Chain A
């Protein structure tokens, strides 16, 4: 199989970069799901084993990763709806760029309050509550 020669870049703008982001967020979510099903499976071992592992998720650093995970899944979900519209709606391909900027806007509008609620505990734990 021939390899692409060096120095070529497909400059597909919104279409290409949303495709790249969809791949990366999808693959990351798949790997998290692998860990998540196994950590939940500890409820079959003992309440202590499950609670010990869940304590990891309550750590401030992992709390930041949680925001990243939710952000990745939310982008993948919204962009997936856009892909469905491009495939099945007759005007989808015409408006695919406008739809990308729409979902990016929705993503930001949901992530701002979402991040606040997810980090609320960590922020008050670090800086204390006035």
Chain B
């Protein structure tokens, strides 16, 4: 950098512009996503736990017929689908941060994240498929 080139100092809290440096605001959006998805998940997950684990006998009453009864309603299908996607992305992003914090070697981080992303794809695809293709008369 030549000495005649002025250093530009933006106003405090003005959005950062990274230009050609190859960086992005990904971590900002990830931070925001954790809070927004977390707020929605508080209602979806605590509602799910209350119904499944506490109400009316809890897990003792859960079986195939119980699941068939619930998923005959589009309301619970949508509830479970939204909960699946938000929880998986929220938890997956949390584990990504944990890997970044504790795995110090580049190759360790690479492999842990590869395993993480593979498991996220597996769970999202399997879970979505099960909700959409559920057949109460399969037996």
Q: Which residues of A contact B (CB under 8 A)?
A: 1, 3, 23, 26-27, 29-30, 33-34, 37-38, 40-41, 43-44, 46-48, 50-51, 54, 57-58, 63, 66, 70, 73-74, 77, 80-81, 83-84, 87-88, 114, 117-118, 120-121
Contacts and interface: CB of A to CB of B under 8 A. Distances in A.
A66 B54 CA distance: 11
Q: Is the interface of B mostly helix, strand, loop or mixed?
A: helix
Interface string B33-65: 001001101100110010001100111101111
24 contacts: A26-B91, A27-B98, A30-B95, A33-B88, A38-B126, A43-B67, A43-B134, A43-B138, A44-B135, A47-B138, A50-B63, A51-B63, A51-B64, A54-B63, A63-B59, A70-B49, A73-B49, A74-B46, A77-B46, A81-B39, A81-B42, A87-B35, A114-B53, A117-B58
Contacts of A47: 63-65, 138-139
B13 to A, nearest CB: 15
B64 A57 contact: no
Given A48-B139, A84-B39, A29 B91 contact: yes
Contact of B91 (A33, A87, A88): A33
A81 B35 CA distance: 8
A110 to B, nearest CB: 9
Interface in B80-139: 84, 87-88, 91-92, 94-95, 98, 104, 119, 123, 126-127, 129-130, 133-135, 138-139
B139 A46 contact: yes
A41 B91 CA distance: 19
B121 to A, nearest CB: 12
A121 B34 CA distance: 36
Contact of B123 (A37, A51, A87): A37
A27 B94 contact: yes
Nearest to A51: B63
A34 B138 CA distance: 24
Contacts of B41: 77
B60 to A, nearest CB: 5
A44 B139 CA distance: 10
Given A47-B64, A80-B42, A26 B126 contact: no
A69 to B, nearest CB: 8
Contacts of B39: 80-81, 84
